[in-house]
Amino acid sequence: MLIHVVKAGDSLWKIANTYRVSMASIISINELAEPDRLVIGQALVIPEVQAETVHTVKAGESLWKIAQTYGTTVQNITQANNIANPNLIYPGQKLTIPGNHKPSIAVNGYIYIYGQAAVPIVREVGEYLTYLSPFAYLIREDGSMQPIDDQPALEAGRNLGVVPMMSITNFTSTYRGENLASVVLNSPEIRSRLLNNILQIMREKGYRGLNIDFENVLPADREAYNTFLQEAVNRLHAEGYFVSSALAPKTSATQTGLLYEAHDYEAHGRIADFVILMTYEWGYRKGPPQAISPLNQIRRVLDYAVTVIPRKKIFFGFQLYARDWLIPHVSGQEAETFSMQEAMARAVRYGTVIQYDTVTQSPFFRYRDERGRNHEVWFEDARSAQAKFDTVKEYNLGGISYWALGYPFPQNWALLRDNFRIQKL
């Protein structure tokens, strides 16, 4: 697929004719609510399928690295380009990447919408998911857990071949949970009781794996957390289940702060079957406006992560929501959170120009509302999604994890399918 960025004077008819595709196909794949009202800077996915890809060699690249990026082999590339010596390629050289070169990845989707309301959401995107994780069972100090109405989502996912992954946590949107985690993690009896309860729920509801998302864990409880993770793996592996964990976005082993210190990347990478890096929330809802998932910062996290965690065990965290801040920002003022489709609707409604920050690889725009207030919106579009997918391929990661389902972003799913083969277990 191609990505077209709308320029002054562009119309849907003109764009469709330029790429020799139908207007209906562009409207459909981008789910354009008002196709006759395009915005300068808007990124559109163009549904053009290409049988092969042409790669321009960059300085320092090897054929092995290029083959890894595209999920193919050195032999396939040398044969397609009549290369006699695979060690002799040069910057600027054009290489044809043959055929079916999509890398295979696993995809997880968290969902915090419960009951029947979750069913249409799962049905819409289930074909793109390997795992579905209703978020979450909140642990209690006695080792029990607060129940959630996850059965409708699990059933909808199973019908689409999605593996259910149970998620447990120690926090809520209003409760940090560090003391709760400390009580549970430091008691062998409570840890054992919690694992017993987890296994009971997994058997009853058909979960096949567990995701542990303990956040704000006290630095002093780092080893206790590692011990619990090892105990969980020992117990669950014995019964045929897998175990994963969610990790704060660290850039070094010595990074300080409540979010980071107890998250031991090396231990989690060694013990767990895979880890989910929560590479989002730089643009925090209560903080100043900025990119929510800036790619320059994410790359710093990945540069550290791959030194201590096997690459195929790493899932890239991808946010599915946009944010709208009032500006100038006032401390304590909370941004509004909504879907990418709503972000585009606001750009159209207020006739703004969408800008693209090349450092963070993130789009944004500003507008003034009916009350005269100024706003700044950061979101994701086809360009930023493709940049993230390219990063997953560059680092040869094992998967992508979305936070969270329920925010429509049709361009993402079209590009995900175009870039990867999604594993169905």
376 as an active site residue: the answer is no
Is-contact 366 378, C-beta < 8 A? no
E strand spans, 294-335:
314-319, 322-327
Question: Can you list the alpha helix ranges (DSSP code H) found in 248-294?
Answer: 265-271
**Residue 200: exposure state from Cβ atoms within 10 A (0-12, 13-18, ≥19):** exposed
The rounded distance, in Å, linking the Cα atoms of 384 and 388 is 6
Three-state secondary structure call for residue 20: coil
| Residue 417 structure tokens | 């399918």
The rounded distance, in Å, linking the Cα atoms of 8 and 22 is 21
| Residue 121 structure tokens | 């959401």
What dihedral angle (degrees, nearest 10) is formed by the CA atoms of 47, 387, 10, 378?
Answer: 120
Choice among 61, 155, 215, 261 that is catalytic: 215
Is-contact 218 210, C-beta < 8 A? no
**Residue 30: exposure state from Cβ atoms within 10 A (0-12, 13-18, ≥19):** buried
Q: Which residues does the annotation mark as catalytic?
A: 215
